[in-house]
């Protein structure tokens, strides 16, 4: 238990520190990299909860794919930092007020009094041969098949919506048509002109 506790606090501390860094560092690229670190730390905490599959998926999907894509976007966009910080001082009091309110509520609600060991017994630890992936696989297509299918439809709608909102058909854009390119014949490109020879005078 001792090691686990130390690990938990270590990763929790890393997570909190990097999450704070995400919103405080000036450089957006660094902020994105700190977000990667936050995801890593939360993946480690999921490992402690015996949710290996989710931890691996978090690293693969978020760190590997989403954040890399995000980094590209951040690098391509010209983000005006000065404008982002405008009004920071003006909104600070109300921001602090809301933050304090939220923290109070959170401590009241999810503190040890409500969810402590006295109210909820510690869940049983599984054996070494327990596979989180197998358990997920068993229920994903049986118990949760309906929500799973809906989630798939949501992703489809997201694709349709994204394309509908961003794809613009520009009739004047010049583009290559590979289909025509490969089916081109010699006669389409070369025209043999019969030039009448003239008599040298």
Partner 1 sequence: MHFDLNQLSLALPEILLLSMACVVLIADLFVTERSRGATYILAQITLVAVFLMVLATAIDKPQLAFSHTFIRDGLGDLLKLFVLGIGFMVFLYSKDYLKSRDVCFGEFHVLALFGILGMMILISANNLLTIYLGLELLSLCLYAMVALQRDSILASESAIKYFILGAIASGMLLYGMSMIYGMTGSLDLTVINQNVVQHKTDMVLIFGLVFVMVGVAFKLGAVPFHMWVPDVYQGSPTAVTLFLGTAPKIAAFAMLMRLLVYGLMGLYAEWRDILIVLAVASMAIGNIVAISQTNIKRMLAYSTISHVGFLILGVLSGTAAGFASAMFYTLTYAVMALGAFGMIILLSRFGYEAEHIDSFKGLNQRSSWFAFVMLVLMFSLAGVPPFIGFWAKLNVLMALVSVNLTWLAIVAVVFSIIGAFYYLRIIKLMYFDTAQDSQSLECHTGMRVAMSLNGLAILLLGFKPDLLLALCLQVVPG
**Cα 199 from chain centroid?**
77
* Residue from the set 20, 27, 114, 131 that interacts with partner 1 by CB under 8 A: 114
Backbone angles phi, psi at 155, to 5 degrees: -65, -40
Q: What's the closest the beta carbon of residue 98 comes to partner 1, in angstroms?
A: 13
The reply on whether position 121 binds partner 1 by CB under 8 A is no
Binding to partner 1 by CB under 8 A, coded x per residue (else -) over 74-113, reads -------------------------------x--xxx---
Measured from the CB atom, the residue of 114 and 131 that comes closer to partner 1 is 114
Q: What's the closest the beta carbon of residue 150 comes to partner 1, in angstroms?
A: 4
Measured from the CB atom, the residue of 166 and 177 that comes closer to partner 1 is 166
Residues 23, 35: contact at Cβ < 8 Å?
no
* Residue from the set 154, 184, 190, 193 that interacts with partner 1 by CB under 8 A: 154
Measured from the CB atom, the residue of 118 and 193 that comes closer to partner 1 is 118
Would you say the C-alpha torsion 140, 141, 145, 149 has a positive or negative sign?
positive
The reply on whether position 165 binds partner 1 by CB under 8 A is yes
Residues 43, 58: contact at Cβ < 8 Å?
yes
Question: For residue 18, with 0-12 CB atoms within 10 Å meaning exposed, 13-18 middle and 19 or more buried, which class applies?
Answer: buried
Measured from the CB atom, the residue of 80 and 142 that comes closer to partner 1 is 142
Inter-CA distances, 118 with 59, 104, 112, 114, 121, Å:
34, 22, 9, 9, 7
Residues in CB range of 30: below 8 A, 6 or more apart: 21
Measured from the CB atom, the residue of 118 and 190 that comes closer to partner 1 is 118
Backbone angles phi, psi at 200, to 5 degrees: -70, 130
The reply on whether position 150 binds partner 1 by CB under 8 A is yes
Q: Which residues bind partner 1 (CB under 8 A)?
A: 105, 108-110, 114-115, 138-139, 141-147, 150-151, 153-154, 156-158, 160-161, 164-165, 168
């Amino acid at each position: 238990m001792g090691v686990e506790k130390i690990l938990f606090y270590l990763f929790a501390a890393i997570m909190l520190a990097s999450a704070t860094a995400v919103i405080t560092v000036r450089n957006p690229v660094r902020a994105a990299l700190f977000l990667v670190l936050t995801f890593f730390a939360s993946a480690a905490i999921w490992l402690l909860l015996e949710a290996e599959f989710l931890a691996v998926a978090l690293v693969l999907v978020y760190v590997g794919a989403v954040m890399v894509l995000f980094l590209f976007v951040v690098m391509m966009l010209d983000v005006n930092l000065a404008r982002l910080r405008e009004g920071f001082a003006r909104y600070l009091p109300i921001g602090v007020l809301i933050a304090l309110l939220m923290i109070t509520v959170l401590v009241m609600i999810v503190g040890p009094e409500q969810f402590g060991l006295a109210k909820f017994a510690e869940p049983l630890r599984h054996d070494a041969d327990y596979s989180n992936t197998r358990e997920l696989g068993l229920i994903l297509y049986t118990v949760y098949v309906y929500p799973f299918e809906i989630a798939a439809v949501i992703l489809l709608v997201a694709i349709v919506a994204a394309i509908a909102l961003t794809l613009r058909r520009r009739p004047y854009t010049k583009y290559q048509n590979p289909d025509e390119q490969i089916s081109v014949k010699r006669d389409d490109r070369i025209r043999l002109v019969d030039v009448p020879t003239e008599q040298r005078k």
